[in-house]
Structure 1
Amino acid sequence: MRQTSLILVLLSVLLLASSCRKKPVPPPPPPPGVVCTIAEKQDVSKTHEFIGQIVAEDWVDLVARVEGYLVKRNFEEGSFVKKDTLIFEIDPRPFEAQVKEAEGQLVHAQASLTYANIQVERYTTLVKGDAVSQKDLDAANMQQGVSKGEVLVAQGQLDLAKINLEYTRLTAPFDGKIGECPISVGNLVGPTINTNLSRIVRMDPVKVEFSVPEATVIDIRQREGSMEKIASRIIPKIVLSNGTEYPLAGQIYFTDNVVDTSTGTLLVRARFQNPNGLLNSGNYVKIRLETKDKTPSIMVPAVAIQRDQTGEFVLSVDKDSKVQRRLVKTGQAHGMNIVILEGISEGEKIIVRGVLKVRPGMTANATLEESAKPESKTQPAAPKATGGN
């Protein structure tokens, strides 16, 4: 009994001793990983952005100028058509008959004129021998004048009949894209019924109209000079609705000579080539004016910019891998990047991904994004050509 109690006491002491031992401290978690880019100086242009509207250089409504039944429609709605392509044809038979009738009237009038000329010539001779009176000669001269007038009228009627016959064939006045056609073959069309048949729009080139605030106009003129110099030194570019930049730059060709007093803006037009038909008349786009002169500026991706009640800032990683909060002043955006006017220096590591994982003062495991690595900015050397003998 005494031995059993001793064993129990020893077990209790051992259990108590083991419970008093300190548990090992777990290792600290690794610093959070972030992806950085290097703040670099790039040559950038000073830009201004406005909202503009694409306007067709030329467009034409195809209208029925003569009345008749539509017998041909030689296109698919929304297709591209070439200049002088036959688009519509109105039944030409009534107009062909009118041409023949007018030709007959002209032949009749010309015959009457020929007879009147003969009569005048004859009476002129006879009146000298008193074979006919002067009155008869005067009547012959009058009939000659009437016949000449009838020839002119008949010729005019023939010309008009031919014009109306031409109006039965509606052709494309230029290369362009044709729109919808609400009228099908077999319907009666004309100046008073089903007049508008379709519309053709020239797709290449197009123009973009946009309004520039007066203060911006003054700023550009003070920097660039006259409007002629502005047109040659400023490059207009289009930013599409999906945020991508249209690949072809334009040319400013018109600036209005007065400021719109209701809006305080000046109307400007730029012309853009549109070989693939990507720019459609009526669409609104962002127009960006870039100067040809470029200035070295620090650029970072726009996604690196954070904002709070104190303003804009970025998170950087210093040489000790510590996260720093840097207030910045931003400039103009250029594609996916933005100019930094104040707040950071060239060469700093700026966090672009993982900003929610860290806060100022923390240690971060920074890796450079692929485009910021030095090896990604150099082109691989071309392999040396080897030739065998």
Structure 2
Amino acid sequence: MNYESNFKSETIDSIQSDYDLSGQTEHPSRLKWIIAATVLIVALLAALYVFLTSGDAAREGAGDDRSQAPSVTVIAPGRTEMTGSLVATGTLAARREMPVGVVGEGGRVVSVPVEQGQWVKAGQVLASIDRSVQSQQARSAEAQIEVATADADLAQANLDRSLQLVERGFVSKAQVDQLTATRDAARARVAVTRAQYNELLARNARLNIIAPAAGLLLERNVEPGQTVSAGSGTLFRIAKGGELELNAQVGDSELVRLSVGRPAKVQPVGSDDVFEGQIWQIEPFIDERTRQGTVRIALPYSPELRPGGFATAEISSGVVNAPMLPESAILSDQEGSFVYIVDKDNKARRRRVETGLVTDIGIAIASGLDGTEQVVLRAGGFLSDGESVSPQLQQK
């Protein structure tokens, strides 16, 4: 039993020993070749994948550059003949306002026969001042004329008699000369007293406050019983001929587009009525604080036009032929107004422009465009100079 056991044990150990030696010599060699082949195949597949994907990415990247260019709407404005206008505001006033006050010595007002809002004639009495004392002075001056006239008649009679006696020698030449001088002095006194009388009449006439010209009475600042004098200020205001105007305030940059005779439509605040007028004067100075000048628009009389009221005027500024753009296409910064145009390479280019007339259909471009360009219609504020765009032409 021991022999058989020993034999079996040695046999088994011999077999295991043979198996281990074979595994250590043959199996590692095959595994290394399998691993190397696998790594090589994976490397080749990775290289092929990288090559293919890099080419596609490059092509897709080029396509993306084109597809990512922003789409913009452009317009070729051409040139349009248009009638421009500008809107201005101002105050209604009398075209020729005449302030009327006391021109004489004044006194107590006894009557005021007119009311504001009435039409008055040239020379019409607006107010009368008490003249009881002045009337007595006029009567005294008139009596002095009669006295002086009587003295002059007597002096003339004495001279006539003396001339008849000179030829007979009863009156000397010297006496005749003296009588002639007396007659001349008497006549002079008549002229003096008559002039004094006329002066009193003129002074008394000035006690009546009269209208210097026909027109519409705008203000009445006096009542019966009131004492007035030359220092009382303006008692009445008259719009000569009833003519009115709008003193419209216009910026200095817009004044150059206006001229005398331009038509205007005036609408008072709070009214639906529109009145036709025209510029009759552009004042030659500009307010240094507001940088505005005054345009005076003549208007016919109408009860709805009240001096002192506020009104809006739409003034025609003439006809021009120029490119016309909507407000959305025109941008501005500290350097002025500009637009973006699209060149032949589909690049957005900044172009400086000068704006002109403003109309209901857009803004005229005075300079900077000839009308053939493709102008970005909107969203120009999001573009930069030289940026690639995809233009979409819109018909005018």
TM-score, length-scaled by structure 1: 0.53
SS for the counterpart of 1:186 is: coil
Distance in 1 between the 2:151 and 2:297 partners?
60
- Give the corresponding residue for 1:289: 315
Q: 2:159 aligns with which of 120, 130, 133?
A: 120
Structure 2 residue 263 is the aligned partner of structure 1 residue 235: yes
Q: What are the equivalent positions in structure 2 for 1:278-317 lying under 5 Å apart?
A: 278-283=304-309, 285-291=311-317, 293=319
**What SS does the aligned partner of 2:275 have?**
coil
Cα contact 1:331–1:338 (8 A) shared by 2: no
Counterpart contact for 1:64–1:189, Cα < 8 Å: no
Partner amino acid, structure 2, of 1:137: V
Higher helix share: 2
Report the counterpart of residue 274 of structure 1 in structure 2: 300
Match in the other structure for 1:179:
219
- What is the rounded CA distance, in whole Å, between the counterparts of 1:212 and 1:130 in structure 2? 93
Which residue number in structure 2 is paired with residue 93 of structure 1? 132
Does residue 242 of structure 2 align to residue 191 of structure 1?
Answer: no
Q: How does 1:344-383 map to 2 (within 5 A)?
A: none
Is residue 207 from structure 1 mapped to residue 235 from structure 2 by the alignment? no
C-alpha contact 1:44 1:295 (8 A) present in aligned 2: yes
Q: Deviations over 1:76-96 (max 9, x none)?
A: 3x3323214432111233333
Look up the SS of the partner of 1:249 in the other structure. strand
* Equivalent residue, structure 1, for 2:83: 45
Instruction: Give SS of 1:147's match.
Output: helix
Give, in whole Å, the separation in 1 of the partners of 2:172 and 2:109.
Answer: 60
Q: 1:160 aligns with which of 174, 199, 204?
A: 199
Tell me how large the CA RMSD over aligned residues is: 4.5
Preserved contact between residue 248 and residue 297 of structure 2 (Cα < 8 Å): no
Structure-2 change in CA distance of 1:188 and 1:220 (3 Å): closer
Alignment of 1:339 with 2:362, yes or no, is yes
Q: Which runs of 5+ in 2 are unaligned?
A: 1-79, 334-354, 365-374, 379-396
1:132 match: secondary structure: coil
Query: Is the partner of 2:277 in helix, strand or coil?
Result: coil
Deviation track 1:284-318 (CA, whole Å, cap 9, x = no partner) reads 65544314547799899x9x99x9x9xxxxxxxxx
1:137 and 1:64, CA in 2 relative to 1: closer, same or farther beyond 3 A?
Answer: same
Unaligned runs of 5+ in 1: 1-41, 222-229, 310-329, 346-389
Contact 2:100 2:211 in 1 (8 A): no
Query: Residue 244 of structure 2 contacts residue 301 of structure 2 at CA under 8 Å; is this kept in 1?
Result: no
Determine the C-alpha separation between the residues in 2 that align with 1:118 and 1:80. Answer: 59
* Residue of structure 2 equivalent to 1:247: 275
Q: Deviations over 1:149-201 (max 9, x none)?
A: 211111112212221232233233322123142x4322333335x46433333
CA distance in 1, matches of 2:225, 2:165: 63
Aligned-partner Cα distance in 1 for 2:161–2:195: 30
Corresponding residue number in structure 1 for 2:106: 67
Partner of 2:187: 148
Instruction: Please give the alpha-carbon distance, in whole angstroms, between the structure 1 residues aligned to 2:199 and 2:184.
Output: 23
Change beyond 3 A, Cα 1:332–1:166: same
1:263, distance to aligned residue in structure 2 (A): 7.8
Are the counterparts in 1 of residues 138 and 200 from structure 2 also a CA contact under 8 Å?
yes
Shift of 1:283: 5.0
Q: Pick closer, same or farther for the CA change 1:296–1:266 going to 2, 3 Å.
A: closer
For 1:268 and 1:128, locate their aligned partners in 2 and report how far apart those are by CA, in whole Å. 84
* Structure 2 contact 120–215 (Cα < 8 Å) conserved: yes
Q: What corresponds to 2:68 in structure 1?
A: none
Q: In the alignment, residue 132 of structure 2 is paired with which amino acid?
A: R
Larger mean CA deviation between 235-244 and 52-61 belongs to 235-244
1:80 partnered with 2:118? yes
The superposition leaves residues 199-246 of structure 1 with CA deviations (integer Å, 9 ceiling, x where unpaired) of 3333731234557666555x548xxxxxxxx435x3234354459674
Find the aligned partners of 1:135 and 1:97 in 2 and give their Cα distance: 43
Q: Which letter does structure 2 place at the counterpart of 1:238?
A: V
Distance in 1 (CA, whole Å) between partners of 2:293 and 2:202 is 41
C-alpha contact 1:63 1:198 (8 A) present in aligned 2: no
Equivalent residues, number: 265
- Give, in whole Å, the separation in 2 of the partners of 1:44 and 1:242: 30
Q: Per the alignment, in what secondary structure is the counterpart of residue 59 of structure 1?
A: strand
The answer to whether the 8 A contact 2:264-2:313 is kept is: yes
Q: 1:278 to 1:333 in 2, by over 3 A?
A: farther
Change in Cα spacing, 1:246 to 1:297, as seen in structure 2 (3 Å) is farther
